Structure 1
Amino acid sequence: MLETLFCAMFTILPDYLFRRYGQGKRIGHEITFFSVWYELRWGLTTCFIATTTLITLLFYYHPSTNAVTSYFRTVTILPETGGRVAEVYVVSHEEVQAGDPLFKLDSSSQEAAVATAQSRVDEVNAALDVSGSDIAAAKATVEQAQAAYDLVESDYLRNKKLLDEGSPAANPSEVDRQFNRLKEREGQVHAAEANLESVQQNVEVLLPAQRASAIASLEQAQTELEKTLVVAGISGRVEQFALQVGDYLNPILRPAGILVPTESGHLMFQAGFNQLAAQVVKPGMIAEVGCLSKPFTVVPMVIVSVQDVIASGQFRPSDQLRDPQDNVRPGSISAVLEPLYAGGIDRLPPGSNCIANAYTSNHERIEHEEMGTAKKIGLHVIDTIGVVHAAGLRMRMLLLPVTTLVFSGH
């Protein structure tokens, strides 16, 4: 409508003034309802062409979209393990901080596992405490066996010397018997040393390994016990939380509620522009946003990034080839908008349905690039007609309550 009125001022209005005062034709006489087309044909034709051209330029270089919202991610409140609720610490719609307890599951089995693991650790520690006496006993056994070996060895060597010298005091059978006893004592020494080495290995290797394993089991049991207490991982507001003592929760099938993070969705908006605007929408463009949740208000924004892919083209590998004509919608160019001034969207709740206009600015090109006069005039015209789009957005925001509450029936 604004575009038509604007173009009519330079086409239909001059044509009418010429017919009325230049040719002397009057409304209701020469200019009637039935003769309007013939009398004002030049003005009407020019107005139609000018309006079509203006709308095309306006929507191409200053794209607009109704698909604007601030997406936010919620956190599902789930325990890491299934169980029955023993205590509930918060209620629905309550603000919580990161680390605040939300609820606790029955932990009797986990507490029993912790006690069992702690007993195993205490048992290994006790074994380590008495291992010193085991080593001392093994050393004493080695010394005893070595002393017995030395005694038998001295007797054997003395009698063997006498036998070798041919002394009648030496008895060959006695020498053989002492030799056998010496071998027996030597075996006892080796057995005692092996026992000492075994005790030392048990104290230095086996018991520490058993202690480490027992401590790991204790830590695992304590971790499982800590899982029964569910805390908030991030600050936010608890929603749809109707948990009661005795409810059974499952980490896959039965969540407890939803946590809406405090900062989620309060920093930026996402807008989907028509694909025709792919060559126009660029980071750094100034934009304006008007939202249903805050009528009569236009928020200045700036485009900070433009998604380099179109979401409608994504696919998941399957056993069927993708047919392009199965795409129901052509998809849009996604852009991220942030407020131009700090605090601009603080009062806009995340998820708001909004309208956005993006404005092309050629000021820098005109100032710094070498170009012809016609091109400069054309760029000036493109920048100027953005005012029409801005005025249209403000009119829509002014009429938004009326169109929404009265004419839409919602």
Structure 2
Amino acid sequence: MSKKTPQAIRGTQDIFGADAEAFAFVVETFERVRRLYRFRRVEMPVFEKTEVFARSLGETTDVVSKEMYSFDDRGGESLTLRPEFTAGIARAFLTNGWQQYAPLKVATHGPLFRYERPQKGRYRQFHQIDAEVIGAGEPQADVELLAMADQLLRELGIHDVTLHLNTLGDGESREAWRAALIEYFRAVKDQLSEESQERLEKNPLRILDSKDPRDKPFLADAPKIDAFLSEEASAFFAAVTSGLDAAGVKWVRAESLVRGLDYYRHTAFEFIPDEGSASAAALGSQSTVLGGGRYDGLMESLGGAPTPAVGWAAGIERLAMLVGQRPEEPIEIAVIPMNEGALLKAIEVAQEFRLSGFSTEIFARGNVKKRFNRADQAGAMAAMIIGDDEIASGTLQFKNLATGEQSTVDLAGSVERAWELRLDRDAGGIDTMLGDLEGAVDALDDAN
């Protein structure tokens, strides 16, 4: 590589091979699960007017003040590459008249941008999956959203994480709690970290999730939200927890879990790896797998009418780290031309198989033995062999690569044989699955 070759920008990544397959597996699983819960797909602009994020995230937050990629366009208007999805979706809800669809359940995924220090699982261009319920103020919306997140993680094969749950109360409860926290932390202000001293007046709830050892001695005795909850807020949280129990979603109470911005209300949550688990080891200090909360006050900050809403987001890169590297799917059909003159026929045959729904690859490089070896290594279940005799007779040599059985068939017959092979293969997989299920049922019967 020449020294003149441009390098990738720091904090970006080129994803290839097994890592790209893991990334795709996360997205494909998310798309499948969101359909089960009837979340509608939306696509959002990659950039918005800067005020969309400044007004929704708060101009004093680190994201707005330090991390946003903002620039002036040729017309002199300040634009920003999206650092998160929720603000853009809220803007779209207001400007496109999506209120008519409320309660609106939407989901999306794609790249986001933040200028922060790159580290394990965190990039300056990163990707998230995102799900939102807008216009639903009842606890059942929170339950459904969390059940969806729980099912997604399980279907990704991530079982060693637990839902950490808290309530921030309604507006009245939150303000009373906030005032009590300011009074409590003012008494020890000189002993707090510089960051917590700065947060004390503006955002005292954020002190509760401080990791600074200077702050930790004061966190245990800090006022708890439960002492300030209104009857309505207590009933809301009780309905969420009982709904999660009914849905079979395991959770633990996390009293220090907060959201600092004023428009957050009621439910706040994070899925966090269990201590000592493989997921915890894989993520290191970046422990949250998926997180979100109820943001009933956001629409008002963007100039809209009061509108309840709840949502969550998860980093695709982090989830891909947890599902592990995933090999590419093996091909099904290998088309092997025996000489240069058979290549055009091989292209025709390969296209016919692809149109019939089979993943297909042409192996035309190297000697014939190497072609067969590469087809076998690629995991093909059958090879279509084409030589001069096959071209003359309009036939193919169909070879079952598992058994070595080979026969002469025409193109239509070869597609039919391929379908039979696939059905036999899939039936074997189903039989194995049923056997595992019967074993699990027997184990339950023995336990009972």
TM-score range, shorter chain: under 0.3
Structure with the greater alpha carbon radius of gyration:
1
TM-score normalised by the chain length of structure 1? 0.20
More contact order relative to length (CA 8 Å, sep ≥ 6) = 1
TM-score normalised by the chain length of structure 2? 0.18
